[in-house]
Every structure is written in C-alpha cells, then in structure tokens.
Amino acid sequence: MTEEESIEIKASVLALQFLGLVDEKMKETGITKKELANEIDTSVSHLTQLLRGDRKPSWEILAMMSLVLGLEFKVKVS
C-alpha cells in the first residue's frame, strides 16, 4: 500500500467516525435528512452520499452539522 492510499483510508475512517456520530444524533433527536440538509444548506442527495461514505465531508459541513445537532466534536491525540 502506498502512503497516498494509506492517507486516503485514514481520511475515510475519520470521516465515517464523525458521520457515525451525526447519524446517531439524528436518530436520537428525530431530525430527518431533509431537515438537516435544509439547515446546512445542502441537498438531501449530497447529505445521503456523505452519510453512506460515498463522499467525504468538508470541515465546514461538519461544523454546520455539529451546530444544528448540538454536537461538540473533540479530537484526542494518543
């Protein structure tokens, strides 16, 4: 595996970890994909692609999701 492939895999795992928390919070609060998409100014299709892992979210999208859902992401280095 090349270094570039390793970085791509790590980026995908990080995105899925963040989005897994978003998905859990959506279920917990009862917010729909349509409602969240409207709140973060994106399409339902784009949001679905993010949640499925087909696309990686930008930091801005993650920040908007966290504000709408009342999430606080913390990064821990170990």
What was the pLDDT predicted at 75? 80
Instruction: Output the tens digit of pLDDT for each of the chain's 78 residues.
Output: 899 999 999 999 999 999 999 999 999 999 999 999 999 999 999 999 999 999 999 999 999 999 999 999 888 888
Enter the pTM of the model.
0.84
Domain chopping of the chain, boundaries: 3-69
What is the DSSP annotation of 51-73? HHTSSPPPHHHHHHHHHHHT---
Supply angle C-alpha 48, 38, 8, rounded to 5. 35
Q: What's the pLDDT score for residue 74?
A: 84
Superfamily assignment of 3-69 in CATH?
lambda repressor-like DNA-binding domains (1.10.260.40)
In the prediction, which pLDDT does 60 show? 95
For residue 1 the two structure tokens come to: 């595996």
Quick check: 19 and 69 in contact, CB under 8 A? no
Is-contact 21 73, C-beta < 8 A?
yes
